[in-house]
Amino acid sequence: MNLNCSLWQDNSMSVKRFAFARFSEVTEQCFLLFTLILLMFLASLTGNALIALAIWTNPVLHTPMYFFLANLSLLEIGYTCSVVPKMLQSLVSEARGISREGCATQMFFFALFGISECCLLAAMAFDRYMAICSPLHYATRMSHGLCVRLVVVSWGVGCMVGLGQTNYIFSLDFCGPCEIDHFFCDLHPILALACGDTSHNEAAVFVVAILCISSPFLLIIASYGRILAAVLILPSLEGRRKALSTCSSHLLVVTLFYGSASVTYLMPKASHSQGMDKFLSLFYTVVTSMLNPIIYSLRNKEVKAALQRTLGKKNLLTHK
């Protein structure tokens, strides 16, 4: 369907309202996709909310590792809520439009939660490094105050990057077409609608991606490199297994999140299609957010027990 952009422009001919592209012209396909995404969205909200609630209400989990995990769950909730509701509306309704201000707001919150999560995952890797490589000093060095500062810095970096990036992009004029070839206001699809040469803007987006995605990832790699070196010299096989077990959930979450995000924002645009971008974006905005609570609850007995207590279920193993 071709949209009449002239109705959505002011006297300066800059587009003031956009519309998201259709996923499919086939109604049945849209309804099926709506159902799948809605179920994953509800599972993500429920799982992450339960993880955060279980940690806050169980004193045994008031440790740095679980403090970071609770904040990760809150970030995941905000991350999916910034994108999915509008996506679901666009799937089953003709009201696919979004104002310029609404689009900027969505981009800001998406960048805020996404960049904050990158930084928080690095903080979680540092916490595991301290726990395994410096266990005797862990309690004093990973104090509650330090953990709070790391979380505040993560949110602060996300907020600054989100504000700067959104302001930089939406200071441009948009000459049309007014249809965004995506399901949310992501950076590259919005830049594709801007007037004139946007090479400098695209370069700035790439530099920000390098700094805010690659830098935390390198810190994670460095932390786990030191962890692996420390684990390999442990004399006990059981000690090595236990040490690696405490890191496995975080490593899996990092792989899922960084794998899809890196392909989207760091690979050259010519190397993948817009369809692949949509698939990867759907993966790291909906699927990984749904999987994270499952990964942590299935691979962590303490989280599983806390969830059972929160839900009012008895853990039969504790009574044996």
The tens digit of pLDDT for each residue in 280-309 reads 778 878 888 888 888 887 667 777 777 777
- Residue that has been written with the tokens 């009449």 in this structure: 4
Query: In whole angstroms, what is the distance from residue 90 CA to residue 116 CA?
Result: 27
**What's the chain's Rg over C-alpha atoms?**
22
Q: Give me the phi and psi of 15, to 5 degrees please.
A: -60, 130
| Strand ranges, E, within the chain | 17-20, 97-99, 179-180
Token output for 288: 């990984």
What contacts 261, CB < 8 A, 6 or more positions away? Answer: 114, 118, 213, 280, 284
Confidence (pLDDT) at 269: 61
Distant-in-sequence, close-in-space partners of 138: CB < 8 Å, separation ≥ 6: 130, 131
Interval 138-149: pLDDT, tens: 888 899 999 999
What are the tokens at 125?
A: 């890797």
pLDDT above 50 for 7: no
What predicted TM-score, i.e. pTM, was given to this entire model? 0.85
Look at phi and psi of residue 23 and say left if phi exceeds 0, alpha if psi is from -120 to 50, else beta.
alpha
Of the candidates 83, 19, 14, the one whose C-alpha atom is nearest the C-alpha of residue 45 is 83
